[in-house]
Amino acid sequence: MYHTNDVILYRGTGVCKIDGLVEKRFGDQTMECYALTPLYLNNLTIFVPQTLSGRMTPIRTYEEIIESIEGIADAEVMWITDVNARRKKYREIFMDGTAEENLRVLKTLYMVKQRRRCRGQKSTLCISDDHLYHDCRRITAEELAYSSGCSFDEALEKLDEMLNTRLSISNTGGQS
């Protein structure tokens, strides 16, 4: 159980502070909800029913996050050819998966962009993949920023540097 003022990672949103428990009415039902304020999104409060508290996880330590990012080169790529199946699976991971699964999605989409760039193609992804790529990247950077005490922009820069170092096509032998 989480408490007021705890800072957590809420899947699908990012790093949030728990402002407390409140009763909210949904249709004809009243539920106890966590009131969450995202730390990196302005002017927003999210109400999460306690039944969905499984989407809330403690913030990892800086060392744990760095270890996960450093291990990304060894993570299995999980490309799904069918765009609708891919969108569904990646969205499930983004909303309910672990931080490691989130990094696998990030790695997969990063590698697709890299491969396209190496072939002289535009490195853009389809819209749903692009949104997910940026969401996975943002949430990882938010957790990194909070755990290290640096700004979001500094964390994003560090994350991008680590991805570029560990996942460049030349470092992976062109495999993905």
Segment-wise mean pLDDT, segments of 10 residues, the chain, 176 residues = 95 95 93 96 91 93 95 90 95 92 94 88 87 95 97 97 82 43
Nearest to 8, CA basis, from 63, 73, 60 = 60
The residues spanned by each domain of the chain are: 7-58, 62-171
C-beta of residue 97 within 8 angstroms of C-beta of residue 142: no
C-beta of residue 14 within 8 angstroms of C-beta of residue 142: yes
Give the model's pLDDT for residue 141: 97
Q: Within 13 Å and on the Cβ side, how many CA atoms surround 12?
A: 14
Topology agreement, domain 7-58 and domain 62-171? no
Give the model's pLDDT for residue 153: 97
Task: Indicate the class that CATH gives domain 7-58.
Answer: mainly beta
H or E segment to which residue 94 belongs: helix 83-96
pTM for this model (two decimals):
0.89
Nearest to 73, CA basis, from 163, 170, 159, 6 = 163
C-beta of residue 143 within 8 angstroms of C-beta of residue 9: yes
Give the model's pLDDT for residue 169: 58
Give the model's pLDDT for residue 152: 97
Asked: is 62-171 a CATH 3.40.50.300 domain? The reply is no
